[in-house]
């Protein structure tokens, strides 16, 4: 697994993340599954991020709606 905000490999340590990320305001920029940098689009009502291999995630999905 990779940290979606920094692209760092998660080895069990607590990842250091921007405060906005904790609040759900910051879109992830790296795919958690492969660590690739994703294409990120910010929209007025949220965001989406796309990995070329693992598809698109969006802010609505992240909020489990």
Strand partners, 58: 48
Candidate ranges 14-22, 29-37, 39-47, 56-64; the one touching Zn ion (CB under 5 A):
29-37
Q: Where are the alpha helices (DSSP H) in 1-65?
A: 19-22, 59-62
Strands (E), 2-65: 39-43, 46-51, 55-58
- Residue 33 found at the interface with Zn ion (CB under 5 A): yes
- Residue 57 found at the interface with Zn ion (CB under 5 A): no
53/65 with CB nearer Zn ion? 53
Residues that bind Zn ion (CB under 5 A): 31, 33-34, 51, 53-54
């Amino acid at each position: 697994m990779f940290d979606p905000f920094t692209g760092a490999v998660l080895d069990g340590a607590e990842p250091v993340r921007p405060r906005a990320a904790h609040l759900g305001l910051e879109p992830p920029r790296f795919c958690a599954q492969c660590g690739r940098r994703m294409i990120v689009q910010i929209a007025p009502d949220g965001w989406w991020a796309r990995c070329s291999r693992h598809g698109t995630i969006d802010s609505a999905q992240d909020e489990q709606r």
